[in-house]
Amino acid sequence: MRSIKKQKEVLLGVTGGIAAYKAAEIVRLLRKNDCSVTVVMTESAKQFITPLTFESLTGRHVYSGLFDPQSPSAMEHIELSKKSDLLLIAPATANIIGKAAHGVADDLLSCLLMTVIKPIIIAPAMNANMYLSSVVQENISCLRKRGVKIIGPEKGELACGDEGPGRLAEVESIVDAVKTELKTREKLNGKEVLVTAGPTREPMDPVRFISNPSSGKMGFALATEALKRGAEVTLISGPTKQEPLPGIKFIPVVTAREMKEEVFKCLAKIDIVIMAAAVGDYQPVRYSKQKIKKDKELLVLEFKKTIDILAEIGKKKGNKILIGFAAETEQLAGNAKGKLKKKNLDIIVANEIGISESGFQSDFNKTVILTKGGKQEELPLMSKTNLAGKILDMLNPYLISSLTTTKKFSRLK
Ligand code: CTP
């Protein structure tokens, strides 16, 4: 195992299962790999292993209750989540997995699951029947869709004597997963990322506009993922119901023209542009200051093209990496290839719209990703959170070094 270069802060949640004793070895290995570890135990974990063991191994206070008088801070769930680079729960019982999936926050660890915006890795360990029960499987799949990494469990003989899946994954595999995740999360350190999201609205009179059903979910997921990977993120979005995470510089806009103006105001400092917005292609030629009355049987409006923001950026690309989207109802790859070339992009994500399970409004997207260098990857239907990670992974070959803080990039040929 290669060690992690910089000292990282890992928050280790230990829950009440027989495998809790293995968490001591996880702490030892993480520390050997240049991680500082803070342990948060649930009350039932203390039935299996004592806080003193972890205090001795980490050299730190071990946290447990929400209202612990020994705790150095009254807002522990906030303080700990701010300081950490990653939350690992190992072993994770069916109970904590259920709480994580359904938003129950009745102790410190379950509160942390909600306050932590850093990566979360969960290593389940429980009886095989419990693990295979439909409720646990549904909860795990729900967490996966939200971007939580699940490691294990493994098959084998369980503490109760049963055979089957339920053993905590090997300690080395868990620590390797932590290291991989921490490395990924440093990929965009020092990079300035601009993401656009949502629809634009082109007004025709004070009460009417032309727009599209974009929810902004894809763009907001990309902004969140870029933030998690260490980037400085600016998010310019048309009207949506989404809330940007604290830490993202958020600029709300309404029209394509406003979006273009805001994009060009900040473009000089940007390294990576991701145009996920569904920018309106046409705007009414004339805007009526007064409400258009319904006195005609047939209303004919004239529209003119809006500016293609992405194509304009493409003309002044310089060293920037440009990622565009292509919303298509047919010939995904073919149409996207044309847009990739025409707009001078490095990567284009073609997403299928017009079907209920993918695209506008949906939490999922079915995409084909194409690069300037001729790579083409067809991805299955997946959550927009997970797709955001996949798209940002596509940037890896462009980055000179995962740990660099310079603004240089290498190009894919
Ligand atoms: N885009 C843009 N400005 C516009 C229209 C689109 O910057 N006025 C960007 C989108 O954000 C997206 C890409 O261009 O990243 C492709 O958008 P899409 O709507 O798929 O295609 P268009 O280029 O508008 O072409 P068409 O509508 O004919 O498919």
The closest of 255, 121, 220 to 175, measured between CA atoms, is: 121
Residue 352 confidence (pLDDT):
84
Q: Is the dihedral of CA 195, 198, 201, 207 positive or negative?
A: negative
Distance (Å, whole) CA 270 – CA 57: 43
In this structure, is residue 3 part of a structural domain? Answer: no
Residues 54 and 158 in one domain: yes
- As a whole number of angstroms, the distance between CA 6 and CA 26 comes to 18
In terms of domains, do 206 and 281 share one?
A: yes
The domain containing residue 340 runs over which residues? 192-408
Flag whether 2 is in a domain.
no
- Are 318 and 265 in the same domain? yes
Among the candidates 126, 150, 184, a domain finishes at 184
Q: Is residue 214 part of a domain?
A: yes
Looking at the fold, whether 350 and 307 belong to one and the same domain comes out as yes
User: Mean pLDDT in each 10-residue stretch from start to end of the chain (413 residues)?
Assistant: 67 96 97 95 96 96 80 70 92 98 94 87 95 97 94 86 89 96 87 97 96 95 93 97 93 98 97 98 96 93 96 95 94 93 97 75 89 93 94 86 40 32
**Model pLDDT, residue 72:** 63
Residue that terminates a domain, selected from 184, 211, 241 = 184
The verdict on the CB of residue 326 being under 6 Å from ligand 1 is yes
Q: How many domains does the chain have?
A: 2
- The pLDDT score that the predictor gives to residue 400 is 59
| Ligand 1: nearest atom to the Cα of 325 | 15
Query: Is beta strand 208-210 parallel, antiparallel or unpaired with respect to 376-383?
Result: unpaired
Report whether residue 349 contacts ligand 1, using a CB cutoff of 6 Å.
no
Q: Are residues 174 and 148 in the same domain?
A: yes
CB 379 within 8 A of CB 367: yes
Q: In the prediction, which pLDDT does 413 show?
A: 27
pLDDT at position 359: 66
Q: What CATH number does residue 285 fall under?
A: 3.40.50.10300
Nearest CA to ligand 1 atom 23: 339
- Whether 312 is in the pocket of ligand 1, judged by its Cβ within 6 Å, is no
Q: How far is the CA of 205 from the centre of ligand 1 (A)?
A: 24
Q: Per the domain annotation, does 28 fall within a domain?
A: yes
Task: Enumerate residues 6+ apart whose C-beta is below 8 A from 225.
Answer: 147, 385, 388, 389, 392
Is the same domain home to 309 and 224? yes
Same domain, 152 and 202: no
In a domain, 45, yes or no: yes
Rounded distance, CA 301 to CA 12, Å? 61
CB 263 near ligand 1, within 6 Å: no
Distance from the alpha carbon of residue 280 to the mean position of ligand 1, in angstroms: 8
Q: Are 144 and 385 in contact (CB under 8 A)?
A: no
Q: How far is CA 325 from CA 166, 211, 245, 322, in A?
A: 41, 17, 23, 10
Query: What's the CA gap between 340 and 127, in Å, rounded?
Result: 50
